[in-house]
A and B are shown apart, each in its own frame.
Chain A
Amino acid sequence: MGSERTLLSGEGITEKVNELAAQIRKNCGNEVPAFVGVYTRGVTLAKRVKQALQDEWPEIALGTLDVSLYRDDLDALESAPKLESSDIPFGVDGTRVILFDEVMYTGRTTRAALDVLMDYGRPSRVELAVLVDRGNRELPLQPDYVGLKVDTEAGDYVAVRFAEDDDREGVFLNYG
């Protein structure tokens, strides 16, 4: 393991969450979108952005997705990933959906998340919001809302840590 650099502190995350909320608010105009978080930390990110929009849009619906069953690398794994419940508590047909993931990297998770979502129905539009875009895409997919863009090498590891899921809060870059 190489050295670690802090990309965002706890306050930094809050600031970026508020920026994401503002961008989404501006872009969506009067059309209230539904949020869908990708397990684990995408769910936390979606909850926080929803919280930031609580006053203006208290009615935002929030769903969760586990992409494990749609991964393209299951054969390469030693053991089957633990499954979480995908829960989409709203009708997907005709709904504007914003997907949340904490980090965008190769794009493979996003591809899987899109496939899961389409199996629930036909959204009118799907957008993607991420806290960190670390580049190194392997598929032609780009986020619509980005908190922080950072250049990384393929061997690096970007760790987003939320107090809800982890024992600390912040975004850290570990050099490979």
Chain B
Amino acid sequence: MAETDIKSRKDLLDVESLSIGEIEYLLKTAGPFKELFRRSVKKVPTLRGKTVLTLFYEPSTRTRTSFEVAANRLSADVTNFAVSTSAVVKGESILDTIETLQAMRTDYIVIRHAASGVPALIAKHTKASVLNAGDGYHAHPTQALLDAFTVREVFPQTEKKKILIVGDILHSRVARSTSTIMRKLGMDVSVLGPGSLVPKGRPDYMNAFWNWEDALAWKPDVVYLLRVQMERQEQQFFPSLAEYHRVYGLTSERFKQVEGEGIYLMHPGPVNRGVEIVDEAMTYERCLINQQVENGIATRMAALYWLKPGEDD
């Protein structure tokens, strides 16, 4: 049986540290996993007897469910560590929590945390494989992988294809991770957003546009709309949601142009209809949002399959 040159790793913490070979391996591996969904038995015995723990310090029903479905389809036992009701609210430190989880002999930990770097810290202190499901403004590697897989489905050759990322670039780990992976796959990446939400210190390859007209004149192949993070708007970066929609949202008028030019639409979900995206765009045939959800399960299965927990003492 042919073995691959791509060695397993213990953790998946960010996109930056993934080599192009590792990315290609994960994208290729996700394909056969997606095909399983068409079988009557959607489950394979690969991780039988292994335990996957989801540890979400920030709520995210979608990402957590996607990981849970992925782990279930690999026959792992999945447990959710309910953070808000746990000792964490009683003041237990993260490392104490990890000690507890280590004693439970968990094989994989899926973690989301509001502070950047927490998954890496945990990875250092546990033998379990750690999958970063989003940390602060830092990284969301499985989102990047599912986005890349989705783009590859419509453009098998990603080289020189153009993606425009729209919205709050500054506070978005999705923007960071997804732009990084698209760049690694040879795509041209541009961003569009309010001046207050586009980082000044962005990488050289990343063009910034300040209005839709200029951005669409760049002829993107994919427009990637970010979610307006209502819960993170304690600080005012733009005057109002209606104002955001008018200036930076995909309005009816802009959608007509997108549709006319056959540009693909993506969004990490959940969608704020009428804010970043107009209702009718949701049923557009080149809107890939539902595909992204399905692909999320397949790529997370590929990630779980690839990672290998550390050895017991």
Contacts and interface: CB of A to CB of B under 8 A. Distances in A.
A62 to B, nearest CB: 16
A77 interface: yes
Nearest to A83: B32
A74 B2 contact: no
Given A69-B45, A70-B44, A83-B32, A120 B3 contact: no
Contacts of A83: 28-29, 31-33, 305
Contact of A115 (B33, B36, B45): B45
Contacts of B4: 79-82
Contacts of A119: 39-41, 43-44
B86 interface: no
A78 B32 contact: no
A79 B44 contact: no
Interface in B1-57: 1-4, 6-8, 25, 28-29, 31-33, 35-36, 39-41, 43-46
Interface in A79-115: 79-87, 115
B8 A84 contact: no
25 contacts: A40-B2, A66-B32, A69-B44, A69-B74, A70-B45, A70-B46, A74-B46, A78-B7, A79-B3, A80-B8, A80-B305, A82-B2, A82-B3, A82-B4, A82-B28, A83-B28, A83-B31, A83-B32, A85-B31, A85-B32, A86-B36, A87-B35, A115-B45, A119-B39, A120-B40
A69 B6 contact: no
B210 interface: no
Nearest to B74: A69
Contacts of B28: 82-83
In terms of DSSP, what is the predominant structure of the interface of chain B?
loop
A176 to B, nearest CB: 18
B36 to A, nearest CB: 8
Q: Which 7 residue pairs across A and B have the least CB separation, nearest first?
A: A119-B41, A69-B44, A83-B32, A82-B4, A69-B46, A79-B8, A79-B7
Residues of A in contact with B, size category: 20 to 34
B306 interface: yes
Interface residues of B, number: 26
B72 to A, nearest CB: 14
Nearest to A85: B32
Interface of B: 1-4, 6-8, 25, 28-29, 31-33, 35-36, 39-41, 43-46, 74, 305-306, 308
A114 to B, nearest CB: 12
Nearest to A120: B39
A70 B29 CA distance: 15
A58 interface: no
Given A69-B74, A121-B40, 12 more contacts: A70-B45, A78-B8, A82-B25, A83-B29, A83-B305, A84-B32, A85-B32, A86-B35, A86-B36, A115-B45, A119-B43, A120-B40
A85 B35 contact: yes
Interface string A54-79: 00000000000010111000100111
Interface string A114-139: 01000111000000000000000000
A78 B55 CA distance: 27
A174 to B, nearest CB: 16
B308 to A, nearest CB: 8
Task: Find the residue from B2, B7, B32, B46 having the highest chain A CB count within 10 A.
Answer: B32
A121 B7 CA distance: 34
Nearest to B4: A82
A153 B6 CA distance: 31
Contacts of A84: 32
Contacts of A87: 35
B185 to A, nearest CB: 19
